[in-house]
């Protein structure tokens, strides 16, 4: 097994390093950590006990992965951080383990997490997510696939961010952000459909049009949320994306961000 460990790095003998792992100067890898094939750990990074890193990840200098949860009632019980494959975690990124005994904070595959971003305990991050520099993701947050979190965004604990949602920089969110939407502000508001993001993900014009109609029924029709959720399945083609939009909102416990839109129609697709 070919592993490159810089002579100044501190790697516990019980850590598991797979083929092609590179550990940079002064990095620390604690007992029981497992690092997948081809993953690179930058200088001065710290990988704490309870952390599993997948294949072909890049961990930047001074990143701290698997630190204790920032919770005043945490008493040192064994918890975990599980990070998937193909992730880029830039310099000074911090991600904490779960607060609950035996449970894990989870980061999926192919995410790009920029410098100084923080992900708190018990978060569940999907695949293809971009989290921009200095964003703060509080505990128990769920971020679905292909969402984009802008720079210096704050996300309150237990908030959910829907798939392909895009959150504008310097915003703060204390309610759920529905899938496929654009959101911004302090507190966060919905501004329309994430048309550019949907196009980039290969979502067809027909599906974009259906999502636009669902968004209008929810926010621009004068209906309350319950009535809008009843009407959308009756009036909008049942594409999987539309069904997910409806089920996400039905599953909201914190409520969804309100609308503060442009004067122009949100119906472009």
- Structure-token pair, residue 116: 């100084």
CB 175 within 8 A of CB 158: no
Cα 127–chain centre separation: 8
Strand partners, 96: 67
Distance from C-alpha of 20 to C-alpha of 267, rounded to nearest angstrom: 49
48 has catalytic annotation: no
121 is catalytic: yes
DSSP letters for 2-34: --EE-TT-EE-TT-EE-TT-EE-TT-EE-TT-E
**139 counts as catalytic:** yes
Peptide bond preceding 56: is omega within 30 degrees of 0, i.e. cis? Answer: no
Alpha-carbon gap, residue 123 to 109, rounded angstroms: 14
Which of 42, 54, 126, 139 is catalytic? The answer is 139
Which tokens go with 199?
């196009």
The one catalytic residue in 24, 122, 154, 162 is 122
Please, which contacts does 52-56 make with residues 24 or more away whose CB atoms are closer than 8 Å?
52/80, 52/81, 52/82, 52/83, 53/83, 54/83, 54/84, 54/85, 54/86, 54/87, 54/109, 55/18, 55/85, 55/86, 56/85, 56/86
| Active-site residue identified among 121, 140, 156, 244 | 121
The catalytic residue positions are 121-122, 139
């Amino acid at each position: 097994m070919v592993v490159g460990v810089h002579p100044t790095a501190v790697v516990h003998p019980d850590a598991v390093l797979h083929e092609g792992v590179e550990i940079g100067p002064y990095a620390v890898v604690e007992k029981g950590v497992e690092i997948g094939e081809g993953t690179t750990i930058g200088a001065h990074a710290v990988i704490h006990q309870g952390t599993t890193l997948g294949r072909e990840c890049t961990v930047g200098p001074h990143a701290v992965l698997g630190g204790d949860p920032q919770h005043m009632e945490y008493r040192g019980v064994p918890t975990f951080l599980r990070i998937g494959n193909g992730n880029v975690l830039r310099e000074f990124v911090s991600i904490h383990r779960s607060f609950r005994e035996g449970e894990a904070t989870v980061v999926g595959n192919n995410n790009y997490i920029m410098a100084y971003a923080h992900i708190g305990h018990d978060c569940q991050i999907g695949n293809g997510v971009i989290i921009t520099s200095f964003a703060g993701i509080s505990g128990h947050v769920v971020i679905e696939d292909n969402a984009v979190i802008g720079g210096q965004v704050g996300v309150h604990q237990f908030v959910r961010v829907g798939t392909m949602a895009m959150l504008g920089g310097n915003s703060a969110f204390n309610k759920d952000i529905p899938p496929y939407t654009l959101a911004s502000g302090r507190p966060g508001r919905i501004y329309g459909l994430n048309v550019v993001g949907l196009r980039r993900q290969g979502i067809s014009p027909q599906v974009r049009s259906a999502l636009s109609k669902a968004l209008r029924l929810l926010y621009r029709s004068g209906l309350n949320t319950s009535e809008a959720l009843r009407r959308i399945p009756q009036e909008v083609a049942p594409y999987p994306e539309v069904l997910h939009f409806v089920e996400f909102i039905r599953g909201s416990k914190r409520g969804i961000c309100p609308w503060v839109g442009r004067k122009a129609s949100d119906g472009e697709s």
